[in-house]
Amino acid sequence: MRFKLGICLIWLTISVLSCGGSYEETVGDVKIPIPRGMTKSQQKGMELSLPGFGGALAAYEGKMAPDNVVEFYRQEMPARGWEPSIGLLSQGGMLTYVKDKKTVIVTVGKIDSGTSMTITVAGAQR
Pairing of β 30-35 and β 102-111 = unpaired
Instruction: Evaluate if residue 62 carries a pLDDT over 50.
Output: yes
Mean pLDDT confidence for 18-42: 87
This prediction has a pTM of 0.75
Q: With 90 as the cut, is the pLDDT of residue 17 above it?
A: no
> Cα 4 from chain centroid?
34
pLDDT of residue 14: 42
Q: Where are the domains of the chain?
A: 22-124
**HEC states along 48-99?**
EEECCEEEEEEEEEECCCHHHHHHHHHHHHHHCCCEEEEEEECCCEEEEEEE
- Type of residue at 84: P
